[in-house]
Amino acid sequence: MTDRPAAPEPPARPPRWWGSVRARTTLASTLVVALALVAAGVAVLAVLQRNLVDSAGLQAEVAAREVATQVAVGTPFDQLDLPDEDDRPVQVVGADRTVLAAGDDLHHAPPLADFAHAPHRTGKSDDEHGDHGDDEGDAPARGSAAAHAAFRTLTLKLHDDHPDGQQFRVAGLLATAPNGQTVTVYAGSSLNTERQAVSGVRDAMLIGLSALLLVVAAVTWLVTRRALRPVEGIRAELAEITDGDLSRRVPQPASRDEVARLARTTNATLAALEQSVERQRQFVADASHELRSPIASLRTQLEVARAHPGLLELDGLIEDTVRLERVASDLLLLARLDAGEQPRAQRLDLAELVRDELAHRSGDRLPVAAALPDGAFPVHASRTQLARVLGNLLDNAQRHAGSAVRVAVGHDAAGAVALDVIDDGPGVPPADRERIFTRFIRLDDARTRDEGGAGLGLAIVRDLVHRHGGRIEVGDADGGGARFTVTLPGAARSTGHRP
């Protein structure tokens, strides 16, 4: 029974237009502008309405004062010159609330103050304009009118043309005739002009608001589209780069804005990723090459031993097996380091660790001289990894030394703990002192040795030292040879550089 092929994944759907950044930005900006314009429009209409009402109140006061002046000079009530009742109705009311003079529609009507459904206060207004008026009940002298008027906004039904009535701004003013009779003059001014003006301005604002919001939305849409066009180019290029070609780069705008910085950061990330992938490929190729030789040698020797048992060389098989084991162990350690494995660290004495490791080494080609002064050299590190650092450095020194290998532990000028491994070999040329720490790199003279190693020892040393917050340097030894110096922060000065 054959397996059914997996169904292909459906292509990713493009985002709907209303879910895009451009649409959300356009909607947000349009909404903000709309709220701001509505608030500004409401404020403008309120100010306009207040100014028009005040203007109508001023006109009503002027009309009331003209009539009050006539009363003050002694003009009979039936001979008062009253303004047009349609726009400025006037009513003269006595102290007993009897209408003494008025137009045809108001002559038999109750006093205008009754339409306000509130007690009329002489000398004070119902708004802030009358706060400086006379006290209630104070009447002007004979033959004069009050200095200030009171105001009401009333709805009067004067004609059948307005079944619901008209709004008027009514001013009330006290006047005293020469005979001592005190009357109240009510004069109104129509607010139709105010209503028409406010309504017209409101309609114009609504029409202008709609047009302005359309312009804002269109401009925001176009500007956002142009601003995000480089981002779409970056996205499209990244979508093609993910198919495998890491040598490509995203387009970088000539501007100096956030999009340009995003493109530069993306290109830098792609460059680092390309280098990482290239190092990984080279590492796999070098590892395969290093493993091929011992495996091929083992296979050849085993095939010869099977055909000719008498020619079996156990020493050669053991050497190839040990070499294969070392390469596999080094590769496994490097893989763990690259994966970010965090071994447990502890406080230990570096001098004591050196003594223990030297006591357990056997089979060295040359004896190792140790210069370990009295006193403790505490560090906070992994014992296993520091032992691996010392072992690899000693193996490298044994491989190149002519007659002597030395190990020293001490403090540097800054108080850090220093470990020196010195040999009297040919030394390391300055041009190669950085390259020797590269994985699978061996100098030409080391390649001529059968025991030259796989070129991973010093690479492992540098990774482990850096992992402990230290550094490793290569220099010339006194009298010739190479000096490898490992510097680690002391345990008392360690600030978190823990493996």
pLDDT tens-digit profile, the chain (499 residues): 444 444 444 444 555 555 577 888 888 889 999 999 999 999 999 999 899 988 988 988 898 888 888 888 888 988 888 887 777 888 898 888 888 888 777 777 778 765 433 333 333 344 433 333 333 346 677 767 677 777 777 766 665 555 566 788 888 888 888 888 889 899 888 888 888 888 899 999 989 888 999 999 999 888 888 888 888 888 888 877 776 677 788 887 777 777 788 888 888 888 888 777 777 777 677 667 667 777 777 777 777 777 777 766 776 677 777 777 777 777 777 777 776 777 678 899 999 999 999 988 887 889 899 988 888 889 988 898 899 899 999 989 998 898 889 999 998 877 789 999 999 989 898 888 888 888 777 665 444 444 556 678 888 899 889 888 899 999 998 888 899 999 999 876 444 444 4
pTM: 0.49
Task: Based on the fold, state whether residues 316 and 387 are members of the same structural domain.
Answer: no
Considering the domain boundaries, does residue 418 fall inside one? yes
CA atoms within 13 Å, Cβ hemisphere of 210: 5
- In CATH, what number is assigned to the domain containing residue 304? 1.10.287.130
Does residue 319 lie in a domain region? yes
Residues 377 and 418 reside in one and the same domain: yes
CA distance 103 to 109: 10
253 assigned to some structural domain: no
Q: Which of 94, 40, 88, 85 is nearest to 63 (CA)?
A: 88
Same domain? 264 vs 223: no
Same domain, 365 and 423: yes
Where is the domain boundary, 298, 333, 368?
Answer: 333
Residue 132's domain comprises 17-243
Domain identity same for 277 and 232: no
Q: Is residue 10 part of a domain?
A: no
| In a shared domain, residues 322 and 175 | no
**Would 298 be classed as within a structural domain?**
yes
Same domain assignment for residues 484 and 362? yes
Is residue 132 assigned to a domain? Answer: yes
Judgement on whether residues 237 and 266 belong to the same structural domain of the protein? no
| Tally of domains within the chain | 3
Q: Is residue 414 part of a domain?
A: yes
* Domain stop point among 272, 307, 333: 333
Contacts of 204 (CB under 8 A, 6+ apart): none
**363 within some domain:** yes
CATH number assigned to the domain comprising residue 439: 3.30.565.10
Torsion of CA 113, 114, 119, 120, to 10 degrees: 10
198 with 92, same domain: the answer is yes
What SS3 class is residue 60?
helix
